[in-house]
Structure formats: structure tokens, C-alpha cells
């Protein structure tokens, strides 16, 4: 059997090269765009119980063509330098695709967070942050982390507090990290942003009827059968919005505990409660347990959403994938050899560097909020309510009919922060996909959306370098 290279860094490099060959950009500039600019490896001791444990950690800054650099911090036993470098590169291209003015970065600590208490995780996180501060690998204008696998709002709050302690009086200190709790300078909508972005992205792809005819699907989300692999933050919110706002039917879900399947569809809210109570997805009422969690990828569906880890769809299982669309909510879930097989089968792949960019987009909004020191909507909400009410009163006089009090309240409501955030995210995802689609349709040599997305990103980054005078 042919062995497949599953090194994510090599995979991202290969995907870059595949797109770059179509662009006519100077080879030296391509090498600069592709290279990881800086990697910081650290090891530090933290007292765990009655002993000291040494932790290995990294922070990679892939590209400084725009500043600050941006990327999550993950806590996982799978974290390696190669992985962090690859994910930092993906962040660079992802930011470029959605026109977020950051370079890409990524960080991680090699540990299993489930093995440590909250107090121990706090000490580890704060020590890691102190290491980053010493080498200036964190700061509002230099490098801005965010949550990733194994981390969340809690860890980001610890990071922000540690940074503030090292920089007393810094008025922009909260902008050193995003994904914080709203009460600690975070932004409404950040927690669910990646999943909501996945929903907006899939919805936009399914709005183009002529593209869907090739794969035998009707336009629109209503009634589409969806399977979600991975039921963490991204997988859960993707499923939630696809059902509640798209009218999809989630027929299969899996996580590390196992997989379940039901042709009648799964109630996502009840499933969340079931897992919270029992610690597993298995034995959910009305659903069938799968013998192997990875079996979820091979079930018949319209849309498969891999929302777990990289290298999930590989040369080994690609021929058994029966989805018409693979929507990559995770980073790097499909290997190049697997992608070749899927494309030959006519599967439409929505690439990760576009589809899971919702998180960094809303992180950009949070960063801007922290620098402006003003909640979105605060200045204009009441003004817009008054203007809309005046317009509605004029309409009532024109049609000689009064709106009900409930309708008037609904129509006249000014935008809250969450409304502005969701509107900005929706517009970003729509505009980004249309750029990718235009590139795909205009080039006879680009044969898939991933290559088109990379081409869009590389051209934007190359333009930035040339405008800076780094490359004439």
C-alpha cells in the first residue's frame, strides 16, 4: 500500500506551490511569502502537585507583511514545531483571503489539558505568557494570540491579565489577545464566530445554482443532510446554525467518545444536554451508535463537515467518502492525495483557509474594539432607533395604518454589538467566497476551490510586499 505524507507543514507547502505556479510571481518573492519568519521554542518548569514538570511550547510567526501577526494557542499532546509552523502559514493565507490585515501566527503547549486542574492550567498558561512577553512574541501591535484546540475564554483572560501585569498602565493592553470573555474586553459573537462563519460560507456556496448542478444538488440549505465530525466549539456551532438558520438536517455527529447517526435528524440542543449529563454522545435517544468514530466520515450525506483535527480524510478512506460537499471547518482535514480522489469523484471541497476564517475575522473586530475603547453600537444605536421610528411614523401616515407596538419595536430596534459583529462576519464571508469563485471561474488552469483560495491569498500578500518596496 502507498504510504502518504501526513506532515501538515509539507501539505500546506504543496498546496502553496500548486497555486503559486499559476500566478507568474517572482520566485524570490514566493519564497519569502512561503517561509516561516520566526519560531520560538521554549521549555519551562511549573510546579504540579509536589513535583516540577517541564513543558515544551512554541510560538511561530509566519509572515510579517502585515502587523500584528495573529493566531491561536492550542493545548494538545499533538503539538509539535512542524504543526505550529504549518498552522501559522494557514493563518497568513486565511487572513489574506478574508482581507483581515494580519500576518499569520500560531502557538501551542504540548500537554493534555484534561490531566491538569484549573489551578495548574492557570499556572502553565501564565508562565507560557511570561515566556512570550520576554521575547516580545505577544503584544497589541506585534503578536495577538486567540483560542484554539484545548483553550478558550478562560485561558485568554489569564493571558490578558498576565500581559497587563507586565505592562502596568498600558491603555491598549487588552488588545494583546482576543477571544476573551465579554466582561474582560471580549466581543459578543466571538465564541461562536468560527461555526457561524462555516454556516455563512456553506450558505454562500450553495447559493450558486450553476455550480451545484455539477454535483447534483439543488441550491439552498433547506433540507440538506449534514454530517459533522467533531462536536467541539466549531462543530457544535456549525451544526446549530445550519439547523436553526439554514433548515438543514444533521443526520450524524461524532467526537472522541464515538459517533451517532439518525436518518430522521438529530436534535442538537438535546444532544448537547445528553453529552453534558453522560459524558458521551453514544446512546442518544432515537440514534444509532457507530462501531467506529471515524465511520461517520463515510456515511451518505449531502454535506460533510470535518470539524476536528487535521488529516481526517486520507488516501485510506477517501474512496469511501459519499458526501457531495466536504466543508472543511477544521484546519487541514483533507490530505492532498485524498483531495485528488475526491475531486475525481466530483466532490466539491470548500477549503479550510476560507471556511473557518470566521474566528480570525471576529478576532479582528475584537482587536479593533480594544484599541478604540468603545463597544460597537454604543454611539449609534439610539440615533438609529429614533431615525427608524420617524421613518415608520411617516410610513404610517402615508398608508393610513398604524403598526402594532410589537412590530414597531422589532423594526425600530437599533443594532447591538452582536448584530454589528454578525453583519460584518456575514459580509466578509460572502465577499471572500465571491473573490475565490471569480478566480476559479476565470482561470482555465485552476481546477479546484482550494487552489483558487491560495491564489487569491498569495496575490494579495505579494502585492503588499511589492507596495512596501521589499520586492520591486
Q: Which residues, other chains included, contact 20 with Cβ-Cβ below 8 Å and sequence gap of 6+? A: 30, 34, 454, 458
Count CB atoms within 10 A of the CB of residue 419.
Answer: 16
By the 8 A CB rule, do 62 and 88 touch?
A: yes
| Inter-CA distances, 371 with 104, 240, 366, 452, Å | 20, 32, 9, 34
Q: Are 342 and 326 in contact (CB under 8 A)?
A: yes
Cα–Cα dist 455/420, whole Å: 30
Grid look-up 491569498 returns 457
3-state secondary structure of 25: coil
106 part of the active site: yes
How far is the C-alpha of 293 from the C-alpha of 424, rounded, in Å? Answer: 36
* Residue whose C-alpha cell is 489577545: 177
Pairing state between β 143-147 and 225-229: unpaired
Q: Which of 34, 70, 94, 106 is catalytic?
A: 106
Cell of 255: 467526537
Q: Residue 451 to residues 143, 324, 466: CA-CA distances in angstroms?
A: 28, 19, 22
CA distance 47 to 147: 24
Q: Which residues are catalytic?
A: 106
Amino acid at each position: 500500500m502507498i504510504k502518504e505524507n501526513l506532515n501538515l507543514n509539507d501539505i500546506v507547502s504543496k498546496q502553496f506551490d500548486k497555486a503559486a505556479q499559476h500566478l507568474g510571481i517572482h520566485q524570490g518573492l514566493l519564497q519569502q511569502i512561503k517561509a516561516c519568519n520566526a519560531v520560538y521554542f521554549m521549555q519551562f518548569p511549573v510546579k504540579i502537585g509536589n513535583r516540577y514538570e517541564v513543558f515544551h511550547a512554541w510560538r511561530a510567526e509566519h509572515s510579517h507583511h502585515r502587523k500584528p501577526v495573529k493566531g491561536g494557542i492550542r493545548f494538545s499532546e499533538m503539538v509539535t514545531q512542524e504543526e505550529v509552523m504549518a498552522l501559522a502559514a494557514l493563518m497568513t493565507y486565511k487572513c489574506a483571503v478574508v482581507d483581515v490585515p494580519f500576518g499569520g501566527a500560531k502557538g501551542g503547549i504540548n500537554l493534555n489539558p484534561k490531566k491538569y486542574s484549573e489551578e495548574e492550567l492557570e499556572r502553565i498558561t501564565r508562565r507560557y505568557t511570561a515566556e512570550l512577553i520576554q521575547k516580545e512574541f505577544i503584544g497589541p501591535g506585534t503578536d495577538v494570540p486567540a483560542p484554539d484546540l484545548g483553550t478558550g475564554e478562560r485561558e485568554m483572560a489569564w493571558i490578558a491579565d498576565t500581559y497587563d501585569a507586565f505592562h502596568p498602565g498600558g491603555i491598549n493592553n487588552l488588545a494583546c489577545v482576543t477571544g476573551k470573555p465579554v466582561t474582560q474586553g471580549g466581543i459578543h459573537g466571538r465564541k461562536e464566530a468560527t461555526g457561524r462563519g462555516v454556516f455563512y460560507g456553506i450558505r454562500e456556496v450553495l447559493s450558486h445554482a450553476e455550480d451545484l448542478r455539477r454535483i447534483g444538488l439543488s441550491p439552498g440549505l433547506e433540507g440538506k443532510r449534514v454530517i459533522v465530525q467533531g462536536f467541539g466549539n466549531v462543530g457544535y456551532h456549525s451544526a446549530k446554525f445550519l439547523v436553526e438558520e439554514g433548515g438543514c438536517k444533521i443526520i450524524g455527529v461524532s467526537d472522541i467518545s464515538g459517533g451517532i447517526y439518525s436518518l430522521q435528524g438529530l436534535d442538537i440542543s438535546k444532544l448537547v444536554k445528553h453529552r453534558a449529563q453522560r459524558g458521551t454522545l453514544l446512546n442518544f435517544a432515537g440514534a444509532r451508535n457507530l462501531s467506529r468514530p471515524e465511520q461517520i466520515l463515510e456515511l451518505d450525506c449531502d454535506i460533510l463537515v470535518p470539524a476536528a483535527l487535521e488529516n481526517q480524510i486520507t488516501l485510506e478512506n477517501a474512496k469511501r467518502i459519499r458526501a457531495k460537499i466536504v466543508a472543511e471547518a477544521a484546519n487541514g482535514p483533507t490530505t492532498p492525495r485524498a483531495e485528488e480522489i475526491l475531486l475525481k469523484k466530483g466532490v466539491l471541497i470548500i477549503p479550510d483557509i476560507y471556511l473557518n476564517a470566521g474566528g480570525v475575522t471576529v478576532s479582528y473586530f475584537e482587536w479593533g474594539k480594544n484599541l478604540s475603547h468603545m463597544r460597537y453600537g454604543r454611539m449609534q444605536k439610539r440615533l438609529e432607533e429614533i431615525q427608524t421610528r420617524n421613518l415608520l411614523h411617516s410610513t404610517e401616515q402615508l398608508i393610513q395604518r398604524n403598526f402594532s407596538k410589537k412590530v414597531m419595536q422589532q423594526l425600530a430596534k437599533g443594532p447591538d454589538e452582536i448584530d454589528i459583529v454578525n453583519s460584518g462576519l456575514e459580509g466578509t464571508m460572502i465577499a471572500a467566497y465571491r473573490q475565490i469563485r471569480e478566480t476559479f471561474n476565470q482561470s482555465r488552469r485552476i481546477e479546484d476551490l482550494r487552489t483558487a483560495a491560495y491564489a487569491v491569498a498569495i496575490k494579495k500578500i505579494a502585492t503588499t510586499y511589492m507596495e512596501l518596496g521589499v520586492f520591486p
